[in-house]
Structure 1
Amino acid sequence: MCHYDKTTHTHPDFQHIQKKIGRRDFLTKTSLGIGALALGSLFKADKLLAETSSGGIAGLPGLPHLVPKAKRVVYLFQSGGPSQFETFDYKPELAKMFGKDLPESVRGGQRLTGMSANQSSLPIAPSIFKFQQYGQSRAWVSELMPYTAEVVDELCFVKSMHTPQINHDPAITFFQTGHQLPGRPSIGSWVSYGLGSDNNNLPSFIVLNSKNAGGQPLYARLWGNGFLPTEHQGVQFRSGTDPVLFLNNPENYDGADRGKMLEYLKELNTLQYEAFGDPEINARIAQYEMAYRMQSSVPELTDMSNEPDYIFDMYGSDSRDSGTYAANCLMARRLLEKDVKFVQLYHRGWDQHAYLPGAIRTQCKNTDQATAALIKDLKQRGLLEDTLVIWGGEFGRTVYSQGKLTPNDYGRDHHPRCFTMWMAGAGVKPGFTYGETDDFSYNITKNPVSVHDFHATLLYMMGVDHEKLTFKHQGRRFRLTDVEGHIVKDLIA
């Protein structure tokens, strides 16, 4: 490690940066060019940036806009589109219509995917699974989800979700970023940008993906920061001994002088910022410092040896296998205990175009117990009252069978017109069902909720006015809800 005097910056690296920048050099090296000169006369550089602290990510001044009901969020995203027919939207009248063609009056000319558009008929496929009402709320739940049935009085079902997107990639991108095209910031990034972090030693936005789950691929841009500063990007925790890439010290390096190296690097970056005014330099400083603190916080967090056996039993045997959905649910609880602001779980495999009964049995077996355990665990620790739990996918499934239909086997295509999600905790109405669909679960008949409405409501629960959380990019002010979105206050207790 080179020695330097950080007061006088006598090291050659500092002297090089501190050389007087000529007018031509300044105009060619700054990304803002002449515009930087104009802006510099109007604003102080530090006012152009979100406030930061030496201990972690700070939120924007003036936020939250109102008293939050939720301090943190865990979003259990079920990628692929879970069938509402086999889970929560009970349609007993369909049993009388097995194999009949879907009436055109119900379809209403809706466009179909290329996978079923060429079918000669659209035969109605009633679910083969039994439903029963549970709890004081008398909510209908499929036999596939016996553990979720135990916690229905904590859940707030929304059966009238809808989206304009009919294919996976744009639909998932739309749900996670508020726009169907890549490049926008994700929900967690917006929350991190607006509200900052409540834990100085962990990122404010952490992502967990189930291992060995088939189905549609997931991309890092789904938890990306888009045009927001890079410290707001979701940090993915992986299974195994190295949960965060590049966090551990290189082989044969003990890290004894890591602190000095980072201090030196911070000085270099600070001088770069003073010279060029690039806000990404400050973001880089924050990321280096967070990585340094995570070297001690992450190993402690991921060490499950202090979890008692009854906790593993509650989440299911898979919870002992790092990277499974069950283990990730348990990890999510540990992250929420540490006041991580936004935890995003992704679990693939719900895209069941064929052989649905067998596939969804497996899918529910892998997720049902751990999902319910997370609700119970948060409640017994006093965390559910200020933690918002969300469960759902990018769209639902069709009432008609894609391909061959038999009494015990069928598949379902994508259906964006209506599907079911649920929320729990943090001030949502427990034991409540909102919205209704027709007898075919094909069209919404009462209280539709759009993706933008969902986003607006989520932010409201966290004390954020979705119309005021904006970021100026390429001459326009962007927000998560774009130019739409209404808060669904009927969902709030």
Structure 2
Amino acid sequence: MLDANRPVSRRNLLRSSACGFGSLAFSGLLSQTRANTTSVALQNPLAPQEPMFTPRAKRIIFIFMQGGPSHVDTFDYKPLLEKKNGAELEFKNSRTIAKTGTFGKEKVMQSPWKFRQYGECGHWVSDLFPEIGRQVDDLCFIHSMHTNGVAHGPSTLFLHTGTTNLIMPSVGSWITYGLGTENENIPGFITISPSSANGGPRNYSNAFLPSHFQGTTLGRAGQPAREARFNNIKNQQWSLNKQRQQLSLLQSLNQSQLQTHKEDDELSAVINSYELAFRMQQHAPGLTDLSGESKATLDMYGIDQKETEDFGRQCLLARRMAEAGTRYIQVNYADNGNNPRWDQHSKIQRHEIHAKATDKPVAGLIQDLKQRGLLEDTLVWWGGEFGRNPFMQGADGRDHNPKGFTHFLCGAGVKSGFSYGATDEFGHESIENKVHMHDMHATLLHLLGVDHERLTYRHAGRDFRLTDVEGHVKKDLFS
């Protein structure tokens, strides 16, 4: 018992109150709501936060097509390419200008694939994507995307963080910072099979945001999705009760340190990560276990076929995470090499390999979300870091094109069977209702009920935001 009239040393305080700290930490493990306490570490920083206004979406699944799929060979039909095939015409080629300071004539190249009209909306889709083509009445195509950066590294970073060179938080980190997660027993931001190349961890980093908001990786590029697991999720040595005792002791020590280092973001994040890890032991293993899925569901994602089995698993995992309440899920069709998957500088015909691997899984994800009622409040976002040029590189390839390309959205709050914006008659530059990547980020946040201009964080003497000082919400996309 402490004497209120006697000074208390730090050592005596810890000795007499360690059990109390442990009790508080343990109560934090069991609480399902934000703790009513002044200690940051005893609160759950990922607890659901009220949006700034009524949201149309609760969560986002981003399907990242690493390398830049060619819009003029997939979803942006340009009949003039066939008519002018082989003609040498003058184009302002970003890469040529970057290398030489000038531009010249380039040889137009038609698409190797035929385009067909699908659905009631009659949208043109190439033969690369027949399964996605059958979903066009649920899709919202944006044909006027443009971005910063010409090479993969800068453009990939810009897609994920809104900058080509600064260390900035990723989209998922900003979203979990602003809204938290729907389920405190699993991470609020998960990236499936991310690449270590072209930005690597920076693409899911929290940067200067508190460490709680960094992305959690599940698997890695180059590893079969079948093997993707949350690491060290089970303790085979100790019983659950024993682990609770150990955690209470560890948290009491961490809490005592936090009392004297209240601004220590990393220590606070460690305390919360331990609590999350403890809860995840009971909830996360089931999240990645597909054994309970029906054969019909597995078939829908193509998990029964060699070409689609791997990416199909990634897409099915994304659906399960959305269902469980993860706020931002990124599905990466990526590798760790210097030549990203869709990067066909020669032999554009190799696009067919990647289309076969992703077409059915993506269509299956959309179908599955729709039939479960999840598409009503889940936004699906598909796209790469840029597009490709309508003219030849070498004998049969296409170079990078950041000036005009296509993304599509699907689900919560966006128009279905709808096309927005346009590139020129060759598909080289965006010319109508242009959508910059900053605009895309602003629009995504708006759909989640967040004002991109008000979602800020003060760092190094200034307020930062995902869209920097730019970005316009494209409300014409909303239903």
The answer on 1:79 being equivalent to 2:66 is: yes
In the TM superposition, residue 122 of structure 1 has moved relative to its aligned partner by 2.0
Q: Return closer, same or farther for 1:48/1:175 CA change in 2, 3 Å cut-off.
A: farther
Q: How many angstroms apart in 2 are the aligned matches of 1:83 and 1:173?
A: 19
Q: Residue deviations 1:343-375, cap 9 Å, x none?
A: 011112111111111x11110000000101111
Q: Return closer, same or farther for 1:246/1:115 CA change in 2, 3 Å cut-off.
A: farther
CA contact (8 A) 1:205 1:341 kept: yes
Counterpart in the other structure of 2:361: 370
Query: When the two structures are aligned, how many residues end up with a matched partner?
Result: 443
Out of 443, 455, 459, which is 2:441 matched to? 455
Q: Residue deviations 1:401-432, cap 9 Å, x none?
A: 1112xxxxx11000010000000000101010
Q: How many angstroms apart in 2 are the aligned matches of 1:176 and 1:442?
A: 23
Counterpart in the other structure of 1:400: 391
Residue 248 of structure 2 aligns to which amino acid in structure 1? E
Counterpart in the other structure of 2:333: 347
Q: Residue deviations 1:306-328, cap 9 Å, x none?
A: 10000011111358999821100
Q: How many angstroms apart in 2 are the aligned matches of 1:490 and 1:48?
A: 44
In the TM superposition, residue 299 of structure 1 has moved relative to its aligned partner by 1.2
Counterpart in the other structure of 1:32: none
Out of 367, 372, 389, which is 1:381 matched to? 372
Q: Residue deviations 1:428-482, cap 9 Å, x none?
A: 0101000011111112221000011000000000000001111111111110011
The answer on 1:257 being equivalent to 2:249 is: no
Counterpart in the other structure of 1:314: 300
Q: CA RMSD in A?
A: 3.0
The answer on 1:208 being equivalent to 2:192 is: yes
| SS of residue paired to 1:70 | coil
Out of 138, 152, 158, which is 2:142 matched to? 158
Q: Residue deviations 1:42-88, cap 9 Å, x none?
A: xxxx8896x9745x71255xx41100000010000101001001100
CA contact (8 A) 2:156 2:198 kept: no
CA contact (8 A) 2:152 2:198 kept: no
Out of 212, 219, 222, which is 2:200 matched to? 219
Counterpart in the other structure of 2:30: none
Q: How many angstroms apart in 2 are the aligned matches of 1:145 and 1:422?
A: 13
| SS of residue paired to 2:286 | helix
Q: Return closer, same or farther for 1:13/1:167 CA change in 2, 3 Å cut-off.
A: farther
Structure 1 segments of 4+ aligned residues over 6 angstroms from their partners: 8-13, 46-49, 113-120, 319-323
Counterpart in the other structure of 1:470: 456
Q: How many angstroms apart in 1 are the aligned matches of 2:114 and 2:228?
A: 43
The answer on 1:147 being equivalent to 2:126 is: no
Q: How many angstroms apart in 2 are the aligned matches of 1:16 and 1:81?
A: 61
Q: Residue deviations 1:194-237, cap 9 Å, x none?
A: 10111021010011027xx9x96561120011111111111011
| SS of residue paired to 1:140 | strand
Counterpart in the other structure of 2:14: 14
Counterpart in the other structure of 1:64: 51
In the TM superposition, residue 271 of structure 1 has moved relative to its aligned partner by 1.6
The answer on 1:169 being equivalent to 2:153 is: yes
The answer on 1:130 being equivalent to 2:122 is: no
Out of 275, 283, 301, which is 2:287 matched to? 301
The answer on 1:98 being equivalent to 2:48 is: no
Out of 244, 257, 275, which is 1:272 matched to? 257
In the TM superposition, residue 297 of structure 1 has moved relative to its aligned partner by 1.1
Q: Residue deviations 1:147-201, cap 9 Å, x none?
A: 0011000000000000121110110101101111252110000110110111021
Q: How many angstroms apart in 2 are the aligned matches of 1:435 and 1:380?
A: 29
Counterpart in the other structure of 1:193: 177
CA contact (8 A) 1:242 1:248 kept: no
Q: How many angstroms apart in 2 are the aligned matches of 1:153 and 1:116?
A: 44
Q: Return closer, same or farther for 1:231/1:438 CA change in 2, 3 Å cut-off.
A: same
Q: How many angstroms apart in 2 are the aligned matches of 1:159 and 1:91?
A: 12
CA contact (8 A) 2:167 2:202 kept: yes
In the TM superposition, residue 244 of structure 1 has moved relative to its aligned partner by 1.7
Give the fraction of aligned pairs with identical amino acids, expressed as a percent. Answer: 42
CA contact (8 A) 1:151 1:372 kept: yes
Q: How many angstroms apart in 2 are the aligned matches of 1:113 and 1:280?
A: 44
- Consecutive unaligned residues in structure 2, runs of 5 or more: 3-7, 19-36, 220-224, 335-340
The answer on 1:235 being equivalent to 2:216 is: yes
| SS of residue paired to 2:312 | helix
Counterpart in the other structure of 2:468: 482
Q: How many angstroms apart in 2 are the aligned matches of 1:120 and 1:449?
A: 27
- Consecutive unaligned residues in structure 1, runs of 5 or more: 19-45, 405-409
